[in-house]
Amino acid sequence: MSVKKYTEQILKELASNVTHLNDAQLDKLIAAIKEANHIFLAGSGRSGIAIRGFANRLMHLGKSVSIVGDVSNPHSDSNDLLIIGSGSGETDSLVSIANKANKAGVKIALVTMDEKSKIGQLAEVIVTLPGVSPKLKNAGITITSIQPMGSAFEQMSFLTYDGIILELMEHLDETTESMFPRHADLE
């Protein structure tokens, strides 16, 4: 098969996977984002790359955000939100962060394949996305994929985060034009 054919197959998978999105779960996440004073975001590996892109767009919307572990992170408080992107919901470093946030009274949201995971048990808001991973401990949304490991989940994460941004733009009366002045200029 060619790269073009593989890419076409990936796009077919994603079109099928989007049917598994749960609007009620997504609405809860959007409400939590709108209510938060500050939003902390965390993820590891490729899920971490996707959540960093999400943090960037939330900042463009005028939200106060930071990536957990950055030296410029502020101290948390009970009006804050921690969003974790973790397919398995079991990554040790992310479980540790979730436990600390829980002790501090920070609301936890999880984007995952496994709502019954360790982090899922701590989260007040869970968005379950389809994916395939050898790390999955509990049953998630059953799909098949030609892609290795968690690729389907990571791609759905990135696309879902972009969908959330578009919905938030509507709620907040934001446009590309109103967001652009918040784009980095020291690049």
Catalytic residue among 115, 124, 154, 170: 154
CA angle 10, 15, 18 (to 5 degrees): 120
Q: What is the spatial distance between Cα 97 and Cα 41, in angstroms, rounded to a whole number?
A: 10
CA angle 35, 38, 41 (to 5 degrees): 105
Q: Which letter does DSSP use for residue 135 in this model?
A: T
- The residue among 61, 57, 106, 62 whose CA lies nearest residue 84 is 106
Q: Is 115 a catalytic residue?
A: no
- The residue among 79, 12, 84, 50 whose CA lies nearest residue 163 is 50
Cβ pair 84, 121 in contact under 8 A: no
Q: What is the spatial distance between Cα 173 and Cα 9, in angstroms, rounded to a whole number?
A: 36
The token pair that represents 51 in the structure block: 């959540």
Q: Which residues are catalytic?
A: 154
